[in-house]
């Protein structure tokens, strides 16, 4: 994302998928066609936060650099600066890893 300036709005975050291992514990190599897309990622950018009923902005609980888990069908896939990324709402994030 170094070449593209992009800031998500409100309670949205930009996520880079973290690739899973291509080999099983037993040493079997899994081909790309059989792999599922990873459900773990690293947050690249975050919005300012969502507004409540009074108009106050509530900041997000996640920040750039956090490793997260998200649902299988979460987010919208986009391509920025030649990189495949996801944009999703903070509510689509299941939790922070580590």
9 CB-contact burial (10 Å; exposed 0-12 / middle 13-18 / buried 19+): exposed
Q: What is the DSSP string of 52-68?
A: -TTS-EE--S--TT-EE
Q: Which domain holds residue 66?
A: 12-17+34-96
pLDDT of residue 35: 52
Residue 78 resides in a domain: yes
Per-residue pLDDT of the chain (98 residues; tens, 9 = 90+): 444 588 899 999 999 998 765 555 676 776 655 556 668 999 999 999 999 999 999 999 999 999 999 988 899 999 988 889 999 999 999 999 88
Rounded distance between C-alpha atoms, residue 13 and residue 44, angstroms = 8
Residue 81 resides in a domain: yes
Residue 52 resides in a domain: yes
Residue 4 resides in a domain: no
Residue 6 resides in a domain: no
pLDDT of residue 3: 45
Residue 59 resides in a domain: yes
What CATH number did the domain enclosing 66 receive? 2.30.33.40
Domain count, the chain: 1
């Amino acid at each position: 994302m170094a070449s593209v300036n992009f800031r998500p709005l409100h309670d949205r975050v930009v996520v880079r998928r973290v690739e899973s291992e291509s080999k099983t514990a037993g040493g079997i190599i899994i081909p790309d066609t059989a792999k599922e897309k990873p459900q773990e990622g690293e947050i690249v950018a975050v919005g300012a936060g969502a507004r409540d009923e009074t108009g106050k902005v509530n900041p997000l609980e996640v920040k750039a650099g956090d490793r997260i888990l998200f649902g299988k069908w979460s987010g919208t896939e986009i391509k920025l600066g030649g990189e495949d990324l996801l944009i999703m709402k903070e509510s689509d994030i299941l939790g922070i890893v580590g």
